[in-house]
């Protein structure tokens, strides 16, 4: 308990999947959690659940592609709780699964606008506020697919590769301000994103068995497997870690 006690933490894309599990865990460990997402009903329901269990959280509607909204929401969180200690850049989409020569420019740009520009814009506005309070921790969700290629999802791979190096550059740029920046690299984790990738709920069971066989540990991961990694990077337990890649992938990229 209390591994992130009284830290003010903003999580983007927090309503479902990894963001949801992370919000619950960080609140359980004493954080004040700004649950932000484009999904209002799911986000509000999550906040109610956290509060019912004695945690502190509030919901803000936030589209990570909208800079004005980001600036306004982050200022609101700052005003409510007096600081921003941690930003978890979690919002992301996998985008269309087509080979490069069949992807339309707008399909490519959509992935980049959320997965890359969203991380840029949220980092920009969080850093401005963290500088007022002697530092902070930024945790960026890249992916195992940001470390290695596969014959699928070209825009997704490109976007997650970008997030990996944005994290290292920002780690070096802000180290002397005590702002740590690290990337997390999940392998396959059972969330709505993967359900969609497998072709919807009715195909999940069959698809999961196929994906399980691809993992050295014999099964795909759960959202909590990633949430525990994010908790560590958000907490002061990781105070000497910046510019690092935390790979949580059941061994997928070890070979």
Catalytically active residues, by annotation: 156
Binding mask 106-145 for ligand NAD (x = CB under 6 A): --------x--------------------------x-x--
In the complex, minimum distance from the CB of residue 28 to ligand NAD, in angstroms, rounded to a whole number? 18
> Which range binds ligand NAD by CB under 6 A, 1-9, 27-35, 61-69, 173-181?
61-69
In the bound state with ligand NAD, the residue whose beta carbon lies nearer, of 150 and 169, is 150
Of positions 19, 95, 154, 250, contacts ligand NAD by CB under 6 A: 19
In the bound state with ligand NAD, the residue whose beta carbon lies nearer, of 17 and 55, is 17
Residue 25 touching ligand NAD (CB under 6 A): no
- In DSSP notation, the chain reads --TTTT-EEEESS-SSHHHHHHHHHHHHTT-EEEEEES-HHHHHHHHHHHHHTT-EEEEEE--TT-HHHHHHHHHHHHHHHS---EEEE----------GGG--HHHHHHHHIIIIIHHHHHHHHHHHHHGGGT-EEEEEE--GGGTS--SS-HHHHHHHHHHHHHHHHHHHHHGGGTEEEEEEEE-SB-SHHHHHHTTSGGGHHHHHHHHHHHSTTSS-B-HHHHHHHHHHHHSGGGTT--S-EEEESTTTT--
Residue 45 touching ligand NAD (CB under 6 A): no
In the complex, minimum distance from the CB of residue 177 to ligand NAD, in angstroms, rounded to a whole number? 25
CA-CA-CA-CA torsion sign (33, 39, 45, 49)? negative
Count interface residues toward ligand NAD (CB under 6 A): 28
Residue 10 touching ligand NAD (CB under 6 A): no
In the complex, minimum distance from the CB of residue 185 to ligand NAD, in angstroms, rounded to a whole number? 7
Residue 161 touching ligand NAD (CB under 6 A): no
Residue 64 touching ligand NAD (CB under 6 A): yes
Binding site for ligand NAD (CB under 6 A): 12-13, 15-19, 37-39, 62-65, 90-93, 114, 141, 143, 186, 188-189, 191-194
């Amino acid at each position: 308990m209390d591994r992130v006690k009284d830290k003010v933490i903003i999580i983007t894309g927090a309503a479902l999947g990894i963001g949801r599990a992370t919000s619950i865990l960080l609140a359980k460990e004493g954080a004040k959690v700004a649950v932000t997402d484009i999904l209002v009903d799911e986000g509000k329901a999550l906040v109610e659940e956290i509060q019912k269990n004695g945690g502190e959280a509030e919901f803000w509607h936030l589209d990570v592609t909208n800079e004005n909204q980001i600036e306004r929401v982050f200022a609101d969180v700052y005003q409510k709780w007096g600081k921003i200690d941690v930003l978890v850049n979690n919002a992301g989409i996998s985008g269309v699964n087509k080979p490069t020569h069949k992807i339309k420019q707008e399909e490519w740009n959509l992935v980049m606008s959320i997965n890359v520009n969203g991380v840029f814009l949220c980092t920009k506005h969080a850093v401005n506020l963290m500088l007022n309070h002697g530092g902070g921790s930024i945790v960026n969700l890249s992916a195992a697919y940001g470390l290695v290629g596969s014959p699928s999802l070209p825009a997704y791979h490109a976007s997650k590769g970008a997030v990996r190096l944005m994290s290292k550059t920002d780690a070096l740029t802000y180290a002397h301000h005590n702002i740590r920046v690290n990337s997390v690299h999940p392998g396959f984790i059972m969330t709505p994103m993967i359900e969609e990738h497998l072709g919807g709920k009715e195909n999940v069971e069959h698809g999961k068995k196929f994906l399980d066989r691809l993992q050295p540990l014999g099964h795909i991961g759960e959202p909590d497997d990633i949430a525990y990694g994010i908790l560590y990077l958000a907490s002061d337990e990781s105070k000497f870690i910046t510019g690092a890649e935390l790979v949580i992938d059941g061994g997928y990229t070890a070979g």
